[in-house]
Structure 1
Amino acid sequence: MSSQEEYSSDEESIYDSQNKKQKVLLGFVDGPITEKDKPTIEDTFLGSQPIWFYEDSKPAESMLICDNCKSKLSLYLQANSPLENTYYDRIIYLFGCKNSQCSKKKGSIKVIRGINKNDEVIKRNKNALDDMDDQLNQSEDKQKQLSEEITKNLFKKNDDDEEEKTKQNPFGGSNPFGDSSTNPFDSNSNPFDKKPEKKQENSKEVSTQQQPKTKTSYAEIASKNAPPPSKPSKSIEGELPEYPGNFIYIESEKLKKDKTTDEELAKYKHLIEQSQENDDDEQLQKGSSKRRESSSSAVLDPQTTKISNMLDDKYFENFSNKTKSNPGQILRYDLNGKPLLYNGKDDIAKIFLSEPFNIPKPSYNPSSSRRFEFQLMPNAIMNLEDLNNNTNKNIKDILNGMSWGTIIVCTDFEDYIPDEMFDKNKVGYIQEWCGVQWEESV
């Protein structure tokens, strides 16, 4: 069992009680995808090949092609992300270009939101939710009856015969919680659970606020006057280039009370101090005037200057401090929340440092707005490029690999897709907004 999956009672004591109920959910690697253990549409996973709702229901080719080199994109993440109070299936796909020359270029990383409103899917999910509600109501009734029986037994005479005791003893018969299949509290819920009967309950964890009621929205008006489904755009042929695949498991974020200095920051500070000392020693030999001139300049060396800038960025420091509590995290899910900024100096940071967020509105639904949903974390790079296990990687390969700090995904608040973009299976895909904070942007 991984260190992120469970903590001992001693470790629990180092957490702030308020932080034990974080609404932020984290994703961790939960084993590789293999020929014998393949993902389904209901799984959340990293790398591998995307899984579409149906074999003949795929996004338009333009969504899966790099806007720069026109090569096929590779899957970074597929996340099963149902929303509260909805009966349809919902998947978020995140793709990136493998061509190193496209790094830091717009259109090299894309996010697609897919929705399946097939009648059978709607019926299945609605029945599952109704069954769950029935089980919950039955459980509440049994608990009430149980409480009444216990109260009566507290005042029952001691000379009752054994048979009568058995009949009236609420624990003498069947245990209303003995069958785990009918116990709605039997398992932990998370928004990426692949069991359909839990989808609606799970989504309540992540959808922490409901959209405020407004006047009739553009989406509602458009849906009433929408033309019939049009012929779908050209779909991509063949498989996509892929990264090694890994399943992801989800759990709530737990933050440690850590009074020690962050190891990475301490290491960087040491490098800077050492560089400054070497520089001072060298200048002392050349004379005080030259030393003064050198020390007043910011030119140490490119690497040290970059590290120094990172240390001066309170957002990067917060990013480091926050992630060190759960260093294995590859995904942060916080619907309607705020992203954890990798730095506070680039154009993406400016979008989220404004109040409210200045996220571009969806062009297909201009009366709506976008909200933060999740972000991919740097540790995902280690798994996608298999740097933990691949000893054949050389320095050039690593330097030419992914160079982003975090990828921030924002989706339409109304979760709308125009009717004409749904196919014969009632499946629709739309490209959403993502912001990339690159490593060299700090």
Structure 2
Amino acid sequence: MAPYDSDSSDEDGDYSKTNVLLGYASTDPTDDDVSHVGGYPTWLDAKHPPPATLARCKVCNGYLSLLLQLNADLQQYFPRDERRLHILCCRKRTCSKKIGSVRAFREVKKGEVKENSQKQAPQPQPQQSQPPLGNALFGGSAAPPSTAGTNPFSMSGSSQPPVNPFSSVGSPSTLAAKPPQPPVNEPQPPIETFADKLKISGDSTPPRTSKDPVEPWPDNSEAASPFPSFYLDAWPEELEKEQEEIPAAAASKAKYDLDDSSNGGASEKDAFESTMDKTFQKFSDRISQNPEQVLRYEYKGDPLLYSGADNVSSRFVVPHGKSGAVRGMPRCEGCGAQRVFELQLVPGLIYELEKDEVMDLDDGMEWGTVIVGTCVNNCGIPGEITFREEWVGVQWEERVVKK
């Protein structure tokens, strides 16, 4: 992310802009009729929705509710591709703080690359005297190349074609005039043998000719209850150049339920709280500059961490007191490429989605931020709509100990 003292600033010099684009929930329509928070998802092609497996919680297998749908076209990186991101979560209390209760997937329609006919040089054809590759695999010895062509690996200055080192009888010219012959005194295996091994034919159990039916995405009437729907507006992040002193109440340490039964428990607790508080305070300071934000977007940027002492943070920063490189996000399961940070959801989204709902104090979402990493190649099948699940890192809220 851009530092607080970015070179880009307003004329009065009181604010600075960063590279982060902030999203805001709005009840008024915006120019973007695709992006929204809450509600139900929509697709690039209504007749081609994703499979229902992407709609289910990995904890309880129930249907998920949409948190965010984003028009994620990136013309500067993928000018021929259409992209959408969908982030969903399970609303069941028993699934909270468990891996798989928040999921994200990328919907992409890859543009077909138009081949330049001038760049497609004709490929050299094999000499007519050479037998098909299949003959060499399923029986028979391959004939040597015709003498009409020049072997690029042969020694120059020789007017005679090289003798085939794998031939035991006959001259090259004699072999070239004969069809491929099976090895001497060895029976030629029938071509069906290879097919039998793959069970293509001749098996008592017929092969499966069709794929198992894919469960379709649920209709709205069958899906999980949706969150309230809002439009999504976006503005560049602006920060005060000189931040005011943090109020004492906001800077006070939170009390966390930590195991300090061992002799070193107190010191470990202090170290944990010190690291966590520093990261959390930075998060709070940054969010407080634009408190109504629900989304932070910066493709190939860095996330604003909610905590510095969990498994998610260790992917982006080196743990205190240790050396080495950060772990980074898992690679794309579709193509093996790296994943890069694209966006994160922040607590303002929880407020907007739950402010009008009636619930107990212990109900509701409990995450501090939801970080989404996407494939740097935007992989997919050219000319088709494909769906790829992406990496989600959730930093959960820590519960305050009740005394």
- The TM tier, using the shorter chain, reads 0.5 to 0.7
2:89 is aligned to 96
Structure 2 equivalent of residue 289 of structure 1: none
* Aligned-residue offset at 1:363: 1.9
**Residue type at the aligned position of 1:402:** M
Q: Which amino acid aligns with 2:86?
A: Y
- 1:106, distance to aligned residue in structure 2 (A): 1.0
**How far, CA to CA, are the matches of 2:252 and 2:302 in structure 1?**
32
Cα distance per residue 1:343-397 (max 9 Å; x no partner): 100000001114455211112212x110000000111000111x1xx2x635x2x
CA–CA distance in 1 between the matches of 2:327 and 2:233?
29
Q: Which amino acid aligns with 1:374?
A: L
Does the 8 Å CA contact 2:275/2:309 hold for their aligned counterparts?
no
Aligned position for 1:70 = 61
Q: 1:82 aligns with which of 73, 76, 82?
A: 73
Hey, which of these two has a bigger chunk of helix by percent? Answer: 1
The match for 2:233 among 242, 245, 249 is: 249
* 2:384 corresponds to 1:415: no
Rounded to whole Å, the distance in 2 between the matches of 1:310 and 1:376 is: 24
Deviation at 1:66, TM superposition (A): 0.6
Return the TM-score normalized by structure 1: 0.56
Whether 2:275 is the aligned partner of 1:267: answer: no
Q: What is the identity, as a one-letter code, of the residue corresponding to 1:114?
A: E
Tell me if the contact between 1:28 and 1:330 (Cα under 8 Å) persists in the aligned partners: yes
Does residue 347 (structure 1) correspond to residue 329 (structure 2)? The answer is: no
Per the TM alignment, residue 268 of structure 1 is displaced from its structure 2 partner at its CA by: 4.5
| Structure 1 vs Structure 2 CA RMSD | 3.5
* Secondary structure at 1:327 match in 2: coil
- Greater Rg by CA: 2
Contact 2:275 2:308 in 1 (8 A): no
Q: Distance in 2 between matches of 1:393 and 1:267?
A: 28
Structure 2 segments unaligned to the other structure (5+ residues): 1-8, 115-210, 256-263, 319-324
* 1:45 partner letter: H
- Any idea what SS the aligned residue of 1:70 has? coil
Identical-residue share of aligned pairs (%):
31
Aligned residues: 276
**Normalising by structure 2, what TM-score?**
0.61
Q: 1:116 to 1:269 in 2, by over 3 A?
A: closer
Consecutive unaligned residues of structure 1, counting only runs of 5 or more, are 1-8, 124-229, 274-295, 300-304
Is 1:365 matched with 2:335? yes
Q: Which residue does the alignment assign to 1:430? A: 388
| 8 Å CA contact 2:109, 2:380 repeated in 1 | no
Kept after mapping to 1: 8 A contact 2:23/2:294: yes
1:338 corresponding residue in structure 2: 302
Task: Please state if 1:26 is matched with 2:22.
Answer: yes
Q: SS of 2:27's equivalent?
A: strand
- Structure 2: how far apart are the matches of 1:43 and 1:365? 27
Using a 3 Å threshold, how does the CA distance of structure 1 residues 417 and 10 change in structure 2: closer, same or farther? closer
Q: Is the 8 A contact 1:41 1:53 kept in 2?
A: no
The answer to whether residue 215 in structure 2 is matched with residue 234 in structure 1 is: yes
Q: Is the 8 A contact 2:276 2:307 kept in 1?
A: no
Within-5 A mapping of 1:19-418: 19-20=16-17, 22-31=18-27, 42-83=33-74, 84=76, 85-117=78-110, 233-239=214-220, 240=223, 241-263=225-247, 266-269=248-251, 309=273, 313-354=277-318, 355=325, 357-366=327-336, 368-385=337-354, 387=355, 390=356, 393-394=358-359, 396=360, 398-418=361-381
Q: Does the C-alpha gap of structure 1 residues 297 and 55 become closer, same or farther in structure 2, counting only changes over 3 Å? A: closer
Q: 1: distance between equivalents of 2:253 and 2:314?
A: 30
